[in-house]
A and B are shown apart, each in its own frame.
Chain A
Amino acid sequence: MAIKLKELSHKKDLLAPGHRCCAGCGSILSVKEVMMAVDGPVVVSFATGCLEVATTIFPYTAWRVPYIHCAFENSASVMSGVEAAYQSLKKQGKIDKEIKFIAFGGDGGTYDIGLQALSGAMERGHDMLYVCYDNEAYMNTGIQRSSSTPRAAATSTSPAGTVLPGKTQFRKDLTKIMAAHGIPYVAQATPDRWRDLISKVKKALEIKGPKFINILSSCFRGWRCAPEKSIEVTKLAVQTRFWPLYEVEYGKWKLNYKPKEYVPIEEWLKTQRRFQHVLKPENKPLLEEIQKNVDQRWEELLQLCGESSPEVTPGN
């Protein structure tokens, strides 16, 4: 199942150019790569969010496939209905096409308000793939914190000031929650590792049943980095082990990439001004706390994947 760039370049984009995402938007890259993995008919649902807005600006749409926009919380539920009706039509012999179903949502629509709908759809076992483009805050409404926003990040509703140093909680580990549903396939990806991402989607679409892929997608507006750094910044998230690339296939955990060197989380935080207060000398304990959390989550993941913990010297 080798993915060749040359072949991809000849494929017709299912998400047409001309949409109005920001230059340097990480999310649109993620979604575009997901759609590159699709062969044959597909139905897409989208929760309210940046991408819904930017790809369907009146009177145009960037979608070359059947597309349904739902409310904020129910991309997974609406797709459950679409898929269930398809199965019924199939049973009745009224349709014989093999159709794939992909539900999209941002982190707000997936981690927060849409979690119940997502959990329900996965538990019921619909034959669908849910893709979360996780840009770590409510970017569409003006950068409010979500449960995916990392600890200490400044957002418009978790401002960093003299009383509070940005978001006071650590992020929710949604990928693990989805793995705990015991569904056939769960994975984490980033758009900079396009081959990894596309093969994960291809693999997921070949599996029958509910699947979930979580893609870290940068938003330079909310992360306060340069638009041209949107790829680099997610790359660094993987290098610093903040966003490990892994998959859980039928309960088997597999680490897809192991950084060769220990890169402290500071290197990732440095690239984004939403964390600039963390790097001040007086916030050193906060930085250490964040590093400790990253290390701990990484160790847990290594154990789950049956990987040995390499001899590394923690930073500082």
Chain B
Amino acid sequence: MEVYNKGIRKSFETQPHYRDETSILTGEHFWQGDIAIAEGAIAADCRFFAGYPITPASEIAERMALRLPYIGGVYIQMEDELASMAAILGGSWSGVKSMTATSGPGLSLMLENFGLGIMTETPCVIVNVQRGSPSTGLPTFFAQADMMQARWGSHGDYEVIALAPDSPQECFGLTIKAFNLSEKYRLPVFILTDGLVGHMTEKVVVPPPDEIEVFPRRKTQKPPDQYLPYQPEDDLVPQMANFGEGYRLHSTGLTHDERGYPDMTIEAQDKLIRRLINKIRTNVDDIIMVEEQDLEDAEVVVVSYGVTSRVVPLAVEKARKEGIKVGQLRLLTVWPFPEERIAQIAEKAKAWVVPEINLGQMVREVERAVGKASKVVPVSHAGGDVHDPDDIYKVITEVIQ
């Protein structure tokens, strides 16, 4: 009967649990990264998606449009990305885990409301399936050039969390992780993937529901007359109440006090902004995920993230065969940046190689963390393709001399 997405529909309508409340499609699948992100969101209990079509992220919206009606969720297509981002903030305050997905041009439009999400400490997830840029750029090709946009794109001072999957399997897992972090630390969390991972189809294993850890909303246990919406717990994160539960909630983008009321004073600004930043900075050990390989004896360390991590091993293997002591550090969490760990490794390593599909963004962070002690060399690529492993290999051999 359906004209659209017949194949996609079959891919889940044949699954036994697609109409269950949890709707986790336990088993092995052959999924695109975009589909895995949508499924990860559903597994993390996301039941509201507001979005706007954009290549190469539209498949996430399409999957949610197909899946959510069966499980009591809501998909709405908004009139633009400003509205999409704003809608998920609203959805989250209504007590439903919410997500949107876009690519660079759309993210540019979302960033004002992303700042609102930071200020109002609204848990939600924003997926950026990066493409060649700036402007319309290379819609059907990919890049990793929105790394700094994710970090600093909205105005003001704040900390962000951003995760960078390098495979459909990781798209699934890190989306769940992104929801967990957003609920735990109460902020919008980015998934920074790219058009290649988003459109890459690979095996994805979905574990049984009891093996998937889902962090629930930090609901307050206090009665409405004792509750202050922005009074922090020990980890600097306030407990949450949802709209419509009898609590007096005043959510505002203005600088506010613990009641949530606007407080236009230097003291209030200092207190609030420091807490918003420190709730991330003091919990970096819990947030940061990296993958390390062959670092024990490494003289050269290759730092990579996202799709570039798929190319690095080829270059490293080749260099190792020739006796160069090279190790790999892969960032699953790109923000907050694992500067402490890098500084530790830098005590022994002599040189750093940072391949990324931009002309030098995260390499600046590596330089900052490493200090002047050792050499840091970028391997840049303007976008549209992954690196030739030989280009990375060449830099590894040059940097050691």
Interface residues of A, Cβ cutoff 8 Å to B: 48, 69, 71-73, 108, 111-113, 115, 138, 141-145, 147, 154-161, 163-164, 224, 273-274, 276-277, 280
Contacts and interface: CB of A to CB of B under 8 A. Distances in A.
Contacts of B70: 163
Contacts of A143: 4
B136 interface: yes
6 contacts: A112-B80, A144-B61, A155-B4, A160-B2, A160-B3, A276-B3
Given A71-B136, A141-B54, A142-B53, A157 B61 contact: yes
Contact of B2 (A69, A138, A154): A154
Contact of B105 (A71, A138, A274): A71
A72 B80 CA distance: 10
Contacts of A113: 52, 79-81
Given A141-B53, A141-B55, A157 B105 contact: no
B4 A69 contact: no
A276 B2 CA distance: 9
Nearest to B80: A113
Interface in B56-114: 58, 61-62, 65-66, 69-70, 75, 77, 79-81, 105, 109
A144 B66 contact: no
Contacts of B1: 160-161, 276-277, 280
B65 A158 contact: yes
B12 to A, nearest CB: 12
B149 interface: no
Given A71-B135, A276-B3, 9 more contacts: A69-B136, A141-B55, A141-B58, A142-B55, A157-B61, A161-B1, A161-B9, A163-B69, A274-B3
A156 B75 CA distance: 12
Nearest to B52: A113
Contact of A161 (B2, B58, B61, B77): B2
Interface string B243-283: 00000000000000000000000000000000000000000
A253 B368 CA distance: 67
A278 to B, nearest CB: 11
Given A142-B62, A224-B3, A276-B3, A147 B79 contact: yes
Nearest to A163: B69
Nearest to B109: A73
Contact of A115 (B53, B54, B79, B105): B79
A156 B105 CA distance: 21
A157 B62 contact: yes
Contacts of A144: 53, 58, 61-62, 77
B5 interface: yes
A161 B13 CA distance: 11
Nearest to B51: A157
A221 to B, nearest CB: 11
A112 B53 CA distance: 11
Contacts of B136: 48, 69, 71
A156 B5 contact: yes
A159 B69 CA distance: 10
Interface string B25-67: 0000000000000000000000000011111001001100110
Interface of B: 1-5, 9, 51-55, 58, 61-62, 65-66, 69-70, 75, 77, 79-81, 105, 109, 135-136
A161 B53 CA distance: 20
Contacts of A274: 3
Given A141-B53, A163-B69, A154 B79 contact: no
B89 to A, nearest CB: 19
Contacts of B77: 144-145, 157-158
Given A138-B53, A141-B53, A156 B80 contact: no
Nearest to A108: B53
8 shortest A-B CB distances, which residue pairs? A113-B80, A163-B69, A144-B53, A141-B53, A112-B79, A157-B65, A138-B53, A156-B62
Contacts of A155: 4
A224 B105 CA distance: 29
A155 B5 CA distance: 9
Nearest to A112: B79
A287 to B, nearest CB: 16
A113 B79 CA distance: 5
B392 to A, nearest CB: 28
Contacts of B80: 73, 112-113
Contacts of B4: 143, 154-156, 159-160
Contacts of A273: 3
B105 A159 contact: no
Nearest to A280: B1
Contacts of B55: 141-142
Contact of A159 (B5, B52, B109, B135): B5
A277 B65 CA distance: 18
Contacts of A156: 4-5, 58, 62, 65
A71 B9 CA distance: 33
Contacts of B62: 142, 144, 156-157
A67 to B, nearest CB: 14
A273 B4 CA distance: 10
B27 to A, nearest CB: 22
Contacts of A161: 1-2, 9, 66, 69
Nearest to A164: B69
A69 B139 CA distance: 14
Contacts of B81: 113
A160 B136 CA distance: 31
Contacts of B69: 161, 163-164
A221 B225 CA distance: 58
Contacts of A147: 79
Nearest to B75: A157
Nearest to B69: A163
A159 B66 contact: yes
Contacts of A160: 1-4
Contacts of B3: 154, 160, 224, 273-274, 276
Contacts of B58: 141-142, 144, 156
A48 B66 CA distance: 26
A274 to B, nearest CB: 6
B42 to A, nearest CB: 15
